[in-house]
Amino acid sequence: MERIVHPIPPFYTKDSRILILGSFPSVKSRESRFFYGHPQNRFWKLMALLLESDAGRAPQAVEEKAAFLKRHRIACWDSIHACDIEGSSDSSIRNVEPNDFSEILSSCNIRNIYTNGKKSHEIYARYCLPMTGVEDICLPSTSPANAAWSLEKLAEAWGVVLADLK
C-alpha cells in the first residue's frame, strides 16, 4: 500500500457547466498525467458517443482530451486528494483526504456534479458534500472493472449529462 497525493490538477474553464469526478487516478492516468488514461476505460469513447455521435472519434492524446473537455464545457477531477492505494484498485483505498472544490465551484457556473462510479460517489458523499453543500448524481463507472455495463448501456445512463451541456 502506497500513500499517493493526486498528481493531476483539476481541468476546468470559466465556461464549464458540469463537473465529472472519478475517485482517484489509475496508474495509467497518473503516468499520462490526465484523466481516464487507461486505454480500456470507456470514458472517452462514451463522451464522444454522447457528444459527437461517434465513439470511434474519441480523443486519444492528452491535448485532444483537454480540447474535447473545453469544447463541451466539462470540468474533470477526482473526489480524492490523497490516499493509501494499491495500484489502481478502488477497493484498496484507505486514509482518504478529499479534494477541495471551492475554486472550481466559485470560478464556473457548474450546473451539476456527476460522480463516475460508486466509489467516487461514496467518497464525495462522505467527505466532499459537507464542504460543498452540492448533491452529486452518481453514474455507473466507465472503468473496465465494470464489465457488466456495455457502452450502449452506459450511454443510456450517462445521457442525463446532455441537458446540462445545452
Q: Which residues are catalytic?
A: 41
Q: Strand 74-78's sheet: what is its strand order?
A: 74-78, 18-22, 112-116, 136-139
The sign of the torsion formed by the CA atoms of 5, 145, 120, 157 equals positive
How far lies 110's CA from each of 12, 116, 138, 158, in Å? 10, 16, 16, 17
Phi, psi of 109 (to 5 degrees): -100, 70
Phi-psi region of 82 (alpha: psi -120 to 50; beta: other; left: phi over 0): beta
Q: Give the H or E element holding residue 71.
A: helix 62-71
